[in-house]
């Protein structure tokens, strides 16, 4: 099993070529910027904006298409999740794949479970939707969608299935990061989010988990 990859730079460049201010991929930037920089009290004071920000990000990333149960919901459906997010310690946003350990992995799994309880109903599938919320809000985990999971199952020779968020899958992501730490760190530090109002770059960098998400997702598309 070879975890070190030689195409990370080129794959990330391919993704970034489709990240202009009005491109759908940039909805991540607007969502992450909002939740990363907005105080808990303002998340609740501006609850409508908070719900709309999360909802449009999910729409841009394919969560409101086809037979998705979210098509039957208004933006207010996200209110319970926003209230939970606002209750969390702001130190949660300091979690990234470079500081995964028993404590942070346990916390990620706990947050996953709590978001799932608030957003999923009637035994609908939870893995893709919930991980996309965690990616867009916190940036501390890749989204476990079809393209990412297929890429990483191949990288890990299917020794890690990426079919559930648990200690094993998160440890595999950490192992991938450690094998490619140099280039992932460079790309994360060099990739700035886009500001909604100006369309220009902010001083906020992408997380390392987001770079890994971009790599797995884009590689799966090729």
Residue 159 placed within a domain = yes
Residue 95 placed within a domain = yes
Question: Whole-angstrom Cα distance, residue 104 to residue 123?
Answer: 27
Q: What is the reported pLDDT for 125?
A: 83
Say if residues 141 and 34 touch (Cβ distance below 8 Å).
Answer: no
Residue 4 placed within a domain = no
DSSP 193: E
Q: What is the reported pLDDT for 124?
A: 75
Residue 3 placed within a domain = no
Q: What is the reported pLDDT for 221?
A: 81
Residue 6 placed within a domain = no
Q: What residue ranges of the chain have pLDDT lower than 70?
A: none
Q: Which two tokens stand for residue 79?
A: 């209110």
Backbone angles phi, psi at 62, to 5 degrees: 85, 10
N residues, the chain = 222
Query: What is the value of pTM for the model shown?
Result: 0.95
Residue 5 placed within a domain = no
Q: What is the reported pLDDT for 188?
A: 97
Residue numbers of the domain that contains 193: 14-221
Residue 138 placed within a domain = yes
Q: What is the reported pLDDT for 158?
A: 78
Taking the CA of residue 64 as centre, how many other CA atoms within 13 Å lie in the half-sphere pointing to its CB? 14
Q: How many structural domains does the chain have?
A: 1
Those residues with Cβ within 8 angstroms of residue 144's Cβ, 6 or more apart along the chain or in another chain: 127, 128, 131, 162, 163, 165, 169
Residue 109 placed within a domain = yes
Average pLDDT along the chain: 94
């Amino acid at each position: 099993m070879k975890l070190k990859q030689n195409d990370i730079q080129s794959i990330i460049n391919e993704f970034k070529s489709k990240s202009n201010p009005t491109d759908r991929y940039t909805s991540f930037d607007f969502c992450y910027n909002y939740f990363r920089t907005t105080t808990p009290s303002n998340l609740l004071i501006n609850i409508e904006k908070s719900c709309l920000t999360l909802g449009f990000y999910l729409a841009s990333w394919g969560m409101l298409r086809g037979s998705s149960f979210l098509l039957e919901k208004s933006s207010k459906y996200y209110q319970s999740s926003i209230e939970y997010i606002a209750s969390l310690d702001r130190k949660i946003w300091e979690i990234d794949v470079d500081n995964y350990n028993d404590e942070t992995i346990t916390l990620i799994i706990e947050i996953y479970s709590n978001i799932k309880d608030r957003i999923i109903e009637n035994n609908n599938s939870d893995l893709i939707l919930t991980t996309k919320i965690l990616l867009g809000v916190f940036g501390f985990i890749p989204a476990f969608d079809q393209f990412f999971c297929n890429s990483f199952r191949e990288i890990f020779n299917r020794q890690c299935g990426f079919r559930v968020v648990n200690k094993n899958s998160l440890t595999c992501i950490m192992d991938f990061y450690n094998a490619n730490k140099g280039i992932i760190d460079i790309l994360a530090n060099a990739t700035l989010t886009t500001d909604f109002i100006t369309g220009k770059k902010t001083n906020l960098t992408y997380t390392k988990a987001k770079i890994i998400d971009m790599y797995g997702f884009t590689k799966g598309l090729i």
